[in-house]
């Protein structure tokens, strides 16, 4: 059959329409996401509530008092013992309206509450299990009462729901210590159907739910395909719902950003931390406790101060994120008094300054010495909110590199207008007549157009120390700017040397650089010191065979113990830093000891990534301290080393949950990579 093509002009139109149709689904998807995310981005501040059977023991079991919502797992409580909490759960003082009122008065716009944590107990009326709140003496649906209270108060209700389930007979894997629970007949697909049935109840019986906050996705039974399927299933029930990235397996540890790839989830979830520079180009939310625990622990009095919590909120908003602050209610259904006090303090600050948080976007400034900045559009102008943490001693608030004209500046708490002047490359606000507010004082600054910030030049090198010579690159993202610099620590200006190529340093130097536009400095000065160092000499040692000596230990620790005082349960030789002989278990530790053969003089950067704590020692000195209880967390350090053998030792412990240990290095002539077997050796006996 002969195909007749239309006139070339018509062909062009046809091809353009086909291309548009191919692009349309992606654009519609992006627009639809923008629409559903808008209320969440505007809110900036929410309340997390961890409440369940684990509130009954209140953090204490068999004399230990450091437990929280993980108590069943961490204290190794048998299922039949934990199940007895069901008949003890009777929070007679629970009042949903009071909970919601405290959140609203604190300035929170949404509440995320645990409908089911890892223990599997449903805090709602479920037709698919008897392990739910309706089987308790309380016999009331707390989620329904919260839904009604939130609707009445104008707060958006959101649900936390755990993928992991330590109670359901079909959930796999079992805890390693649950030797009394057979896996015979367990069917994980049947568990997923059970989970979907409960999610259908939550998304059809409680009105509009703003967020489905998943957790517990890290065990090996969950995978990308299951995560994508669950994401689509939830969206089929409530198309406008927002779903966090823990629905899938793409979360990058506790830092919470989503790894590159097609992983499901609408936003990242940093836990107990604030990303240093936010997570540019994506939505994210830092969840954080007020003390050490998510679930109620009557012994945990390590409370963050109101100032720290308020400044965390400001810091997060200034980086374009949301703050989800946790309360762990008691078994009686009450917020701890310390939590109530902090919510009130936050509320008093938010009552005056909330416009500097709600609906704002990230700061246009890379760094401000005295505090943080948020911004928003108001009637065609841009308003910058300058949050002062550290009051300038001379009462002059310096705004570095701001290229816009300031049309108005005033203190937010009393609307008093303030005088501004231009000094060199900075705008300066006189705040001598402003009364300092508790926690943070906000100065509002109106400017014309979008913010134009002449950021200081970026000064970058592989390391800040070197043994022979170092290549330093200086760059700027300021349009039409030249960079002038000095290497002797003096202030740069238009007569200083201009950057035209990378700089090669051969001695200790302090580089200072400034952006210049139209023969005028427009940015603040960036300063970086680079130090020439002498590499640590190689050790004179007797070298044995390849590999490392290891010793493993049994024990429960919160920090790396002094292993030299303990007796190992096993020892021997391994090729590398290998914990596989115990991986998947809990409450154990390792010591790896040996030599590393450094191929050439230079600066070597070592990286240790572990869950839980670890330490790296080079030549008997601590190079990296990655200690404590945490998820997979990486730290690094640079060490100048001479060619030859150096001692290397790694200490590691695992408390509970997931476990892993990885060692990387980077050095002259090679990029970051796993430390290979062929550079590791045992000391000769």
For the chain, give percent helix, strand, coil, nearest 5.
Answer: 20, 30, 45
| Residue 192 host element (H or E) | helix 188-204
Beta bridge partners of 603: 640
Tell me the three-class secondary structure of 574-634, residue by residue: ECCCCCCCCCCCCCEEEEEEEEEEECCCEEEEEEEEEECCEEEEECCEEEEEECCCCCCEE
Residue indicated by tokens 């043994």: 467
pLDDT digits (tens, 9 = 90+) for 185-222: 999 999 999 999 999 999 999 999 999 999 999 999 99
CA–CA dist 295, 49 (Å, integer): 8
Q: For position 656, what pLDDT does the model report?
A: 80
Distance CA(26)–CA(315), nearest Å, equals: 33
Per-residue confidence (pLDDT) for residue 46, from 0 to 100: 98
Q: Which residue has the tokens 């330093």?
A: 472
Between the alpha carbon of residue 416 and those of residues 378, 393, 431, 432, 455, the distances in Å are 19, 20, 10, 12, 29
- Laid out side by side, the sheet with 441-447 consists of 371-378, 381-388, 441-447, 406-411
| Tokens, residue 60 | 């204490």
Strands 156-162 and 211-215, bridge-based pairing: parallel
CA dihedral (259, 261, 265, 271) in degrees, to 10, reads: 0
Question: Token pair of 133, please?
Answer: 């709140």
Residue 293 three-state SS? coil
Could you tell me which of 130, 101, 133 has the C-alpha nearest to residue 114?
A: 133
pLDDT at position 25: 55
The Cα–Cα gap between 287 and 276 comes to 15
Query: Cα separation of 625 and 606, whole Å?
Result: 12
Q: What is the number of alpha carbons within 13 Å of residue 379 lying toward its C-beta?
A: 1
Backbone φ and ψ of 128, nearest 5° = -110, 5
Pairing relationship of beta strands 285-288 and 322-327 according to DSSP bridges: parallel
Alpha helices for 44-133 (secondary structure H): 71-74, 79-82, 96-105
pLDDT (tens digit, 9 = 90+) per residue, 221-275? Answer: 999 999 999 999 999 999 999 999 999 999 987 788 898 889 999 999 999 999 9
Give per-residue burial for 552-573: e unless 16+ CB within 10 Å, then b.
bbeeebeebbebeeeeeeeeee
| Contact (Cβ atoms closer than 8 angstroms) between residue 484 and residue 514 | yes
Residue 231 is predicted with a pLDDT of 98
CA–CA distance, 267 with 284 (Å, rounded to integer): 5
Q: Which residue has the tokens 């950003």?
A: 257
Which residues of the chain fall short of a pLDDT of 50? 1-6, 8-9, 11-15, 18-22
């Amino acid at each position: 059959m002969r195909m007749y093509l239309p006139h070339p002009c018509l062909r062009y139109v046809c091809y353009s329409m086909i291309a548009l149709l191919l692009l349309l689904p992606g654009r519609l998807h992006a627009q639809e996401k923008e629409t559903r995310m808008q209320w969440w981005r505007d809110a900036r501040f929410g309340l997390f509530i961890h409440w369940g059977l684990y509130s009954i023991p209140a953090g204490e079991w068999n004399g230990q008092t450091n437990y929280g919502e993980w108590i069943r797992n961490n204290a190794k409580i048998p299922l039949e013992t934990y199940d007895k909490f069901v008949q003890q759960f009777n929070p007679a003082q629970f009042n949903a309206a009071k909970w919601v009122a405290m959140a609203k008065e604190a300035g929170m716009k949404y509440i995320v509450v645990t409908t089911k944590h890892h223990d599997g107990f449903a805090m709602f009326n479920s037709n698919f299990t008897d392990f739910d709140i309706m089987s308790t003496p309380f016999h009331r649906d707390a989620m329904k009462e919260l839904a009604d209270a939130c609707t009445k108060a104008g707060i958006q209700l959101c649900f936390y729901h755990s993928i992991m389930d330590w109670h359901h007979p079909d959930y796999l894997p079992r805890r390693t210590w649950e030797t009394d629970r057979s896996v015979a007949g367990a069917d994980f697909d049947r568990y997923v159907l059970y989970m979907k049935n409960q999610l259908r109840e939550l998304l059809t019986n409680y009105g509009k739910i703003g967020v489905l906050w998943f957790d517990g996705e890290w065990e090996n039974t969950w995978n990308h395909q299951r995560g994508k399927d669950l994401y689509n299933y939830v969206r089929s029930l409530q198309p406008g719902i927002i779903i966090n990235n823990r629905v899938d397996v793409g979360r990058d540890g506790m830092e919470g950003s989503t790894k590159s790839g097609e992983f499901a989830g609408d936003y990242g979830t940093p836990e107990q931390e604030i990303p240093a520079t936010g997570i540019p180009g994506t939505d994210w939310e830092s969840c954080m406790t007020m003390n050490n625990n998510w679930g109620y622990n009557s012994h945990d009095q390590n409370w963050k101060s109101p100032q720290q919590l308020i400044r965390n909120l400001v810091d997060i908003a200034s980086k374009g994120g949301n703050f989800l602050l946790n309360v762990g209610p008691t078994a009686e259904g009450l917020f701890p008094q310390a939590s109530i006090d902090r919510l009130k303090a936050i509320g008093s600050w938010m009552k005056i300054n909330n416009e500097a948080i709600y609906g704002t976007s990230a700061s246009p400034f890379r760094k401000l010495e005295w505090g943080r900045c948020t911004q928003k559009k108001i009637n065609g102008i841009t308003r910058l909110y300058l949050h002062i943490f550290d009051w300038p001693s001379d009462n002059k608030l310096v705004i570095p590199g701001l290229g816009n004209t300031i049309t108005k500046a005033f203190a937010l708490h009393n609307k008093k207008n303030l005088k501004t002047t231009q000094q060199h490359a900075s705008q300066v606000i006189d705040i001598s007549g402003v009364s300092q507010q508790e926690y943070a004082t906000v100065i509002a600054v109106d400017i014309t157009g979008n913010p134009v910030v002449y950021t200081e030049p970026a000064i970058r090198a592989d390391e800040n120390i070197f043994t022979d010579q170092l290549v330093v690159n200086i760059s700027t993202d300021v349009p039409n700017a030249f960079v002038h610099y000095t290497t002797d620590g003096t202030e740069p200006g238009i007569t200083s040397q201009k950057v035209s190529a990378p700089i090669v340093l051969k001695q200790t130097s302090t580089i200072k650089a400034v952006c210049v536009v139209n023969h005028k400095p427009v940015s603040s000065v960036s300063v970086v010191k680079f130090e020439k160092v002498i590499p640590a000499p190689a050790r004179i040692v007797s070298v044995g065979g390849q590999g490392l000596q290891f010793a493993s230990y049994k024990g429960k620790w919160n920090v790396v113990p002094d292993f030299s005082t303990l007796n190992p349960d096993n020892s021997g030789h391994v090729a590398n830093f290998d914990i596989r002989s115990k991986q998947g278990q809990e409450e154990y530790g390792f010591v790896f000891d040996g030599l590393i053969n450094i191929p050439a003089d230079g600066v070597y950067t070592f990286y240790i990534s572990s869950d839980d704590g670890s330490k790296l020692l080079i030549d008997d000195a601590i190079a990296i301290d990655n200690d404590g209880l945490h998820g997979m967390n990486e730290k690094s350090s640079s060490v100048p080393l001479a060619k030859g053998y150096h001692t290397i030792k790694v200490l590691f412990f695992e408390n509970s949950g997931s476990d892993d240990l990885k060692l990387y290095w980077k050095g002259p002539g090679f990029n970051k990579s796993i430390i290979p077997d062929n550079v590791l050796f045992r000391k000769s006996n």
